[in-house]
Amino acid sequence: MSSNEEKQKPDISATVHDGCSTCRMQRRDMFRCIRWHLWFSAMYRLPLERYFPARLRFLAVTLDWTYELFLYSTLLHIDILFICTIYLNQDKGDLELLVNCIIQTVIYTWAIVAKVFFKRIQPKRVKELMRYLNEECRTRSAAGFTYVTFKESVDMSNMWTTVFLICCYAGVTFWLFVPIFNQDRSLPLACWYPIDFKVPIVYEFIYFLQTVGQLQIAAAFGCTSAFYVLIAVIFSGQFDILNCSLKNILATTYIILRKPKSELILLREEQSIADYELNQYYIAKEYSNDCDCIPHFFDKETPKPENFYEGFKIALRPCIAHHRYILYGLKMLEDLYSNLSFLKYLEVTLLVCLVAFVWVKSTAANSFLRLLSLSQYLLLALWEMFMICYMGEIIFLCSKRCDEAIQRSPWHLHSGEIKQDTLFFILNAQRPFRLTGGKMYNLNLKMFRTILTTSFSILTILQNMDLRQPQPK
């Protein structure tokens, strides 16, 4: 949570009115980075139509299908080979080998499921979410003594997305260097092949397919979680904008009523008490407006309301619409990710315990690079689930603070006129929104702790099984 003490001007565009600068945030594509990764992983349709004339548009569809089928076949054949490896070695008593193969089977199966889900099951919902945020999100709060913008939430979402995707690619890239350092013509992924893969040309071709498969694993894992986190952070920033608008709702009403500067100054003194409260916003920074420039936020041709109550309703309607906009967008996110989050819970719980088992069982005979790769798998799986649970917690906390925001305004000055509408809004705003996993559990930090506990329990069972197994000769 960021402090609201900073009052310096943000680096944004401005429009000049009678010598006063008025902040106007410029919209931008908030999904530019993640969209490229979705294209690379064939989880979003390639925009090839623009490069072909109308008569050859069918080639764009053909190329998109060809690229998608190539990636599916690459992932699927590796997944099947690991399943065959498990089947052929199930009676040999090498639990470490079986667990290694199960890890890769879980990872590749999840990647295929994620790709099919994004590209073939929910493509319209993914596209609609991106359009909904890019075109309809609020860029700044309503006119008042202070304001916040969506700049901080967009910057934070892009930073989290970029860092996580880079770490995902770095994590799988380490596996590709193991055969190079060992210099034994082994493969990054040790699984059974029905042919001698060490033969020249065959080895290089299989190595290429495994490289493609590993990069697609990174893209699939990174995109599914990064897309979720990006949207959740932006909606958290929208809550910040809404809360600032609610805090300044009386100031907005005064501006609509064309109140003189003296009354605006008195109202600002009453509201200044709330400026000392910390952690009013999740990520946004609050900036001050000059009282001389505040009236320029409204069109002078707009008819003046007849009384204070009419002006208050004009100021409150956009806040109610914005609140509905946020809740509807979160409902879209919940519909898109609820079932996927449930599968992610199962996948991460199983993956964490299996990777931890192999990491603990590894001996000095294993290369440092392999141990480092296992450590990265473990950390990425935990980091991924932590981000999902953490953003679910943040959305829950932000969604139930709207009633606090409107109470930061000096509502007592006009309690008799606005009490009914204010209480009605507070009652409706006290219904927090919860992101869930399969409608069966809430995504929060408590669930992340449950995942760690469950993984540790399964790890203990695997270690006990390993102690009872006879060592392979």
Residue 211, exposed/middle/buried by CB under 10 A (0-12, 13-18, 19+)?
middle
The average pLDDT across 132-151 equals 92
94: exposed, middle or buried (Cβ count in 10 Å: 0-12, 13-18, 19+): middle
Please compute the mean of the pLDDT values over residues 52-68 and round it to a whole number: 91
**Confidence (pLDDT) at 163:** 94
Residue 104 has pLDDT above 70, yes or no: yes
Task: Report residue 298's pLDDT band, with 50, 70 and 90 as the boundaries.
Answer: low
d(CA 250, CA 169): 50
Residue 63 has pLDDT above 70, yes or no: yes
> How far is residue 195's CA from residue 208's CA, in Å, rounded to a whole number?
16
What pLDDT is stored for residue 357 in this prediction? 84
Only one residue has tokens 């003296």, namely: 262
Kindly tell me if the per-residue pLDDT of 132 is higher than 80: yes
At residue 471, the 3 state secondary structure works out as: coil
Phi, psi of 363 (to 5 degrees): -115, -175
Count of alpha carbons within 13 angstroms of residue 386, beta-carbon side = 10
For residue 66, the tally of other CB atoms under 10 A from its CB is: 10
| Burial class of 214 by CB neighbour count within 10 A (0 to 12, 13 to 18, 19+) | buried
Average pLDDT, the chain: 86
> Are 253 and 206 in contact, with CB atoms under 8 Å apart?
no
Lowest mean pLDDT among 18-32, 80-94, 327-341: 18-32
Is 472 a residue whose pLDDT tops 80? Answer: no
- Residue 110 pLDDT grade (very low, low, confident, very high; cuts 50, 70, 90): very high
Closest CA to 41 of 126, 111, 106: 111
Greater confidence (461 vs 274) lies with 461
Task: Give 404-441 pLDDT, tens digit per residue.
Answer: 888 888 877 777 778 888 888 888 888 889 999 999 99
Structure confidence at residue 70 as a pLDDT band (50, 70, 90): very high
Return the residue matching tokens 């699984």. Answer: 191
Mean pLDDT of 83-108: 88
* pLDDT at position 366: 56
Three-class DSSP labels, 366-418: CCHHHHHHHHHHHHHHHHHHHHHHHHHHHHHHHHCCHHHHHHCCCHHHHHHHH
- 19 CB neighbour count, 10 Å cutoff: 8
Which residues have C-beta within 8 Å of that of residue 83, sequence separation ≥ 6?
101, 105
Please check the confidence at residue 133 and state whether its pLDDT lies above 80.
yes
Helix, strand, coil in percent for the chain, rounding step 5 = 70, 5, 25
70-98 mean pLDDT: 91
Q: What does the alpha-carbon distance between residue 197 and residue 199 come to, in Å, rounded to a whole number?
A: 5
What is the rounded CA–CA span in Å between residue 439 and residue 113? 19
Residue 63 or residue 52, greater confidence: 63
Whether the pLDDT of residue 296 is over 80: the answer is no
pLDDT of res. 10: 40
* Residue % of the chain over a pLDDT of 90: 52
Q: In whole angstroms, give the CA distance from residue 227 to residue 130.
A: 10
Residue matched to tokens 């100021």:
315
pLDDT at 13 over 70: no
pLDDT at 24: 60
Check the CA dihedral 293-299-300-302 and report its sign. Answer: negative
Q: Is the pLDDT of residue 156 over 90?
A: yes
Digit-coded pLDDT (tens) for 355-393? 888 887 765 445 566 677 778 888 899 999 999 999 999
Structure tokens at 146: 């202070």
CA 359 to chain centre: 29
Cα of first residue to Cα of last residue in the chain, in angstroms, is 57
Rounded-to-integer distance, Cα 295 and Cα 459, Å = 64
- C-alpha to C-alpha distance for 400 and 398, rounded to whole angstroms: 6
Q: Which helix (H) or strand (E) holds 147?
A: strand 146-147
pLDDT of res. 295: 64
Q: Are 385 and 344 in contact (CB under 8 A)?
A: yes
Give per-residue burial for 116-141: e unless 16+ CB within 10 Å, then b: ebbbeebeeebeebbebbeeebbbbb
Look at residues 35, 9, 32 and name the one whose alpha carbon lies nearest to residue 22: 9
pLDDT at 300 (0 to 100): 63
Q: Is the confidence at residue 18, as pLDDT, over 50?
A: no
Residue 15 predicted with pLDDT over 60:
no
| Mean pLDDT lowest among 63-72, 183-192, 445-454 | 183-192
Residue 370 pLDDT: 67
Local structure of 61: helix, strand or coil: helix
